[in-house]
Amino acid sequence: MSRRAALLLALPPALFLAVFFAFPVLSIVALGVAPDGVPDPGALVRTWTSSSTLRVVAWTIGLALAATTLTLLAGLPAAWVFARFRFPGKRLLRALLTVPFVLPSVVVGAAFLALLGPRSPLNALLTAIAGPDAPQVRLDGTTIAILLASVFYNVAVVLRLVGGFWAHLDPRAEEAARVLGASPWRAFREVTWPLLRPAVLSAVSIVLLFTLTSFGIVLVLGGPGQATLEVEIWRRTALLLDLPAAAALSILQVGGVFLLLLASARAQERLAVAQRLRPAAETERAPRTRRERFVVGTVLAGLIALVGLPLLILVERSFAVGAGYGLTAWTTLGSLPQRAGLFVPPAEAIGNSLLFAFATLLVAGSLGLSAALAIGSRRGWLPQTFDALLMLPVGTSAVTVGFGFLVALGEPPLDLRTSILLIPLAHALVALPFVIRATAPVIRSIDPRLREAAAVLGASPGRAWREVDAPIVARAALVGAGFAFAISLGEFGATLFIARPATPTLPVAIYRLLGLPGPLPFAQAMALATILLVLTAISVLAIERLRGSGPSPF
């Protein structure tokens, strides 16, 4: 592809990034530095050093570190089992264990609220045994609930990144250390661990990033004193209308995330060890001893319980209204509840989510394909720099994106604050990096000799592209569009800022229902969460079917 054609393809996504990412972020910075229109850097310092901010920051960091530690403790044994052992249903189980990571955070919060909250099956059982005066077990609103949900949400990261890399390490090095007299722990510590550290660090950085910017889980499961920085930004904006303070906190969060990503990249480069990797099929084996079979069975049973139990309870609670079971929650989704707070029947949120998801698919899919073609067809520092710039929204929280839209897009010539277009635009911004990552590696992998062979046979450049590149690129583009669709379905942080009362999405409707008293709204929230779970699972299965075994990291 010529340089001019690549620049023309790069222009639309570059303009989109400038208008809907750079401009809102810079507007937040301007609001934080000059809250009254006059530059006052001291306002930032006063907000950052206030006791409330320091308390929220300390809580956010402590929660993220605790959640990451627990995720590693749960994920490393699972990574070892999947890397070293062969057992029936391994591929299917690995795929199922990945589902929680792609679930919307509000669905995860709703699942653990159903499992640990006042209407959990455990409390129903206690009431049935001891009567209405039976003591109730409630973990919602506690740190335990948030930590358990965070482990549920992120354990797939450790399983995929660490387990996937571990499966390619040659086990004979560790076996040689054992033959020389090393204990199993010493052989792991001195032989395997130094080779595994870059993958572990990569997983840690991603889990830390997701827990530091966690919004839906903390908002649904956390108590009044457990607001993370993400939740505090939303509270200052939506509840207190303190936009300058929210802007200052957003700047603090973006800066912290950037430093985390920078430190992680440097640490991974420093710890990287050159080595020869083996195919995973050559390093795995069936459990040989009774002890190995016991350990593998125990780890798998624990994983299945961790992942399956909350989702099963989520579905079960959608049928539980009052003392029995029925379809009341499902049959009333199309009617407007008597209580205020929903504005529209819950079922309308399904149509809104599907509409916004298709719009996001079109916007992010087309812009992502254009960017991927520009990046994947050229070499050099310019495409690499453009690629890095397009990845910036990944390191920016969705709450900051939504807040930036409110600050920047409320005045002419971009007065979109009351427009329904804000939602698919925000979703497209969040989804765009994933579309590019699903498409660009496939474009780079196309062997240029295929085009050369077509040219030798007399094909014009256009025909060569249509018959060689286009079929491969089309499949990758469909995968990217599928990611955009799935991400839009579950996006919650930015949508809660910008969704109009009459056009809620599924995650917003679930959150509103959870805030209403009584068993029926709770069951309706579980029903909507079940629908969102099914829609997300269908999207992921379609992506897996299209993706095949291509080079896309997704």
Top-confidence residue, 490 or 437? 490
pTM for this predicted structure = 0.76
In a domain, 56, yes or no: yes
In a domain, 493, yes or no: no
Given a cut of 70, whether residue 447 has pLDDT beyond it is no
CA distance 348 to 502: 9
Among 127-136, 185-194, 476-485, the range scoring the smallest mean pLDDT is 127-136
In a domain, 202, yes or no: yes
Among 11-15, 88-92, 364-368, 409-413, the range scoring the smallest mean pLDDT is 409-413
pLDDT for the residue numbered 358: 92
Give CA angle at 473 (99, 544), nearest 5°: 20
Give the list of residues 6+ apart from residue 355 with CB closer than 8 angstroms, or none: none
- pLDDT category at 553 given cuts 50, 70, 90 is very low
pLDDT for the residue numbered 445: 65
pLDDT for the residue numbered 292: 84
CA distance 155 to 8: 41
In a domain, 217, yes or no: yes
* 345 φ, ψ (degrees, to nearest 5): -60, 145
What are the strands, taking DSSP E only, across 388-484? none
Q: Which of 66, 19, 137 is nearest to 422 (CA)?
A: 19
Structure tokens at 231: 């939740």
CA distance 381 to 384: 5
In a domain, 330, yes or no: no
Q: Mind listing the pLDDT tens digit for each residue in 29-43?
A: 888 777 776 777 777
The answer to whether residues 119 and 522 touch, using CB atoms and an 8 Å cutoff, is yes
The answer to whether residues 447 and 379 touch, using CB atoms and an 8 Å cutoff, is no
With pLDDT > 70 as the criterion, what percentage of the chain qualifies?
83
Q: Mind listing the pLDDT tens digit for each residue in 266-303?
A: 665 566 555 566 666 667 788 888 888 898 899 989 88
**Number of domain units in the chain:** 1
Residue 222 belongs to domain spanning: 51-290
- pLDDT category at 395 given cuts 50, 70, 90 is low
Average pLDDT, the chain: 79
The answer to whether residues 344 and 528 touch, using CB atoms and an 8 Å cutoff, is no
Tokens 């992010």 belong to residue = 364
pLDDT for the residue numbered 70: 93
Long-range CB pairs of 448-452, under 8 A, 24+ apart, other chains included: none
pLDDT for the residue numbered 549: 45
Structure tokens at 245: 């303070």
Q: Mind listing the pLDDT tens digit for each residue in 11-30?
A: 999 999 999 888 888 888 88
The segment with the largest mean pLDDT, out of 61-65, 332-336, 393-397, is 61-65
CA distance 154 to 511: 21
* 321 φ, ψ (degrees, to nearest 5): -130, 120
In a domain, 127, yes or no: yes
| CATH number, position 155 | 1.10.3720.10
Q: Mind listing the pLDDT tens digit for each residue in 185-241?
A: 788 777 777 878 878 887 888 888 888 878 888 888 877 677 888 888 888 877 777
Given a cut of 50, whether residue 7 has pLDDT beyond it is yes
In a domain, 255, yes or no: yes
Given a cut of 90, whether residue 355 has pLDDT beyond it is yes
Among 132-136, 258-262, 472-476, the range scoring the smallest mean pLDDT is 132-136
Please count the other Cβ atoms lying within 10 Å of the Cβ belonging to residue 308: 14
CA distance 120 to 308: 15
* Cα→Cα distances 234→114, 141, 216, Å: 24, 18, 11
In a domain, 259, yes or no: yes
Transcribe 143-164 into DSSP letters: HHHHHHHHHHHHHHHHHHHHHH
- pLDDT category at 363 given cuts 50, 70, 90 is very high
